[in-house]
Structure 1
């Protein structure tokens, strides 16, 4: 989908309709990006939109910083994003392998949830994320890429350490946060043309190969982190932004600066044709859950669901169970 269909939008507080709501209220709201929007009001300075895939009366009213749309934007598709990501250098992944061509085809696993399989295939064919394949090899569905991963040359790009990111946030002593979550995750990166067949997977409906990277491919996290770091390299050096794969956190102590920082991040997203999940974005808040932790002014604590997991941990009766518990607990030490 071309960038002309991209729209910068915002997420205000919930309200029913626009009864008595002033232009000043809208002007003070933040912006985010989504594809399937529908124009509901236009004037010389702004375009107001509603997200077609958000339910409820006017829960999300938005206005764009783009005013070149004269016709309503199509909302025929109810779940963004649609279409393949761009071929920018940082948005393609090589599957460099050794000896994988000689691998044998995977056995066809018994799949009991055919309805879910059909939904997955239909949606991803529609988006252009997969296609029918004639690959000489195949991995079991659902994306059991262990054999492919064993034969894949690993991408050494580093994934940030969670504790390092939290240290960056804590040292800034922020009082407000904005958290953004990308649509489509790894699917925002295309597989290099000619490498698609290596990721083929077999199903009762046929053999398919991915056009974009999926969860389970060994280099997906490193490739995605490298893409995000490349997009935001200038902002990451300023000390108010951290990114862990597809989770983006903006933090600051000044409201006006926080708005400016949020706008800069959104402009970078728009330029890169990346979109957000509005239902998972939180703007200008004093408490936020990020990477399993609760961040507040002057405090970083364990998320409530993680505390509950420890309190309700099943009885440890084996070395493996002990190792699992210690691994979980050490994450928070």
Structure 2
């Protein structure tokens, strides 16, 4: 019957995400980490000037094209001053939590059970770097969970 292989990475396969991340890292990484970040299929290209950005963008798109990766233009934001990336809003001045995500956290009801306390900690842990003294504040939750 012969051998079979995937032409694309199937959804739900156990080693799919780490394999894809390694592929993207190997494809785009070497000597480019000062202007590109990759998380799975999210690619962030950043530059100091518009001309530099055009050069970086052309280089990355060329690499992707040579590797037969397709880019969906509807999902691209090109040459923007601010962007949401991995639930953070990033601009030239700062990285801050995404406003919609913060609103969702603020609107969470106070936890009443250990399970709800663990769920609450899980939801706010992603933004711990933005919460001064997070470990001290979260300690009572950890003590009872």
TM-score range, shorter chain: 0.7 to 0.9
Is 1:234 equivalent to 2:30 in the alignment?
yes
Can you list the C-alpha shifts for 1:19-73, whole angstroms capped at 9, x where unaligned?
xxxxxxxxxxxxxxxxxxxxxxxxxxxxxxxxxxxxxxxxxxxxxxxxxxxxxxx
Shift of 1:213: 3.4
**Cα distance between partner residues in 2 of 1:245 and 1:235:** 19
- Report the CA distance between 1:277 and its aligned residue: 1.7
Check the 8 A contact 1:241/1:249 in 2, yes or no: yes
Runs of at least 5 residues in structure 1 that lack an aligned partner in the other structure? 1-192, 197-209
Is 1:219 the counterpart of 2:15? The answer is yes
> CA shift at 1:214, angstroms?
3.0
Q: 1:249 aligns with which of 44, 53, 58?
A: 44
Question: Between Structure 1 and Structure 2, which shows a larger proportion of strand residues?
Answer: 1
Residue 296 and residue 211 in structure 1: after superposition, are their counterparts in 2 closer, same or farther (change >3 A)? closer
Q: For 1:235 and 1:221, how far apart are their aligned partners in 2?
A: 23
Distance in 2, matches of 1:211 and 1:261, equals 28
* Aligned residue runs from structure 1 range 28-177, under 5 A: none
Question: Are 1:299 and 2:90 an aligned pair?
Answer: no
- Which segments of 5 or more consecutive residues in structure 2 lack a partner in the other structure? 129-145
Question: CA 1:216–1:324 in 2, change beyond 3 Å: closer, same or farther?
Answer: farther
2:106 is the counterpart of 1:319? no
CA distance in 1, matches of 2:71, 2:8: 18
Q: With CA pairs under 8 Å and 6+ residues apart, which has the higher RCO, 1 or 2?
A: 1
The alignment partner of 2:79 has SS state of: strand
Residue 273 of structure 1: SS of its match in structure 2?
coil
Distance 1:260 1:327 in 2: 40
TM-score with structure 2 setting the length: 0.78
TM-score (norm 1): 0.36
Contact kept? 1:235, 1:241, Cα under 8 Å: no
Aligned partner of residue 284 in structure 1, secondary structure: coil
Structure with the larger helix share:
2
Q: Which residue in 2 is equivalent to 1:258?
A: 53
How many pairs align?
126
Structure 1 residues 280 and 235, CA gap change in structure 2 (3 angstroms): farther
CA drift of 1:297 comes to: 1.2
RMSD: 1.8
How far apart are residue 290 of structure 1 and its match? 0.3
Contact 1:250–1:261, Cα closer than 8 Å, also in 2: yes
Following superposition, the deviation at residue 232 of structure 1 comes to: 1.1
Distance 1:324 1:251 in 2: 34
Structure 1: how far apart are the matches of 2:62 and 2:95?
Answer: 29
